[in-house]
Amino acid sequence: MYFWYRLTLKASDSIEERGPPVISLLLPLLMAWCLVGIFMINGIKSTGKVLCVLVPLAGIITISLLIRSVLLTGARYGLQRLTVMKVSAMYSITAWIQAGIQVLFALGLGFGPVVIYSSYMDQPNNCLSDAFVVAFINLGFSILAMPFILSVLGFWATVLIHSCIEKNAELLLKLVVQGKLPPEALPPINIPDDPHVIFTSWLNSLSQPIKNLVLSHITECNLEKQFLKVKEGLSFAFLAFIEAMSFISGSVFWSILFFLLLLLLEMGFMIGLLQGVMTPLQDTFPFCKKHEKLLTGVYYIKLLSDYWMVLPIIVIVISENMAVSWAYGSRR
Return binding residues for Na(+). Answer: 138, 265
> Whole-angstrom Cα distance, residue 327 to residue 332?
10
Backbone angles phi, psi at 220, to 5 degrees: -70, 130
Q: Are 185 and 218 in contact (CB under 8 A)?
A: no
Residues 6+ apart with CB under 8 A from 213: 181, 182, 185
> Binding site residues, as ranges?
138, 265
Q: Are 62 and 297 in contact (CB under 8 A)?
A: no
Q: Are 158 and 196 in contact (CB under 8 A)?
A: yes
In sign, the C-alpha dihedral spanning 259, 27, 107, 291 is: negative
At residue 42, the 3 state secondary structure works out as coil
Q: Are 72 and 246 in contact (CB under 8 A)?
A: no
User: How many residues does the structure list for the chain?
Assistant: 332
**Helices in the chain by DSSP H: which ranges?**
2, 26-40, 44-69, 75-79, 93-107, 113-119, 127-177, 195-205, 208-215, 223-228, 234-247, 251-284, 286-290, 298-307, 310-328
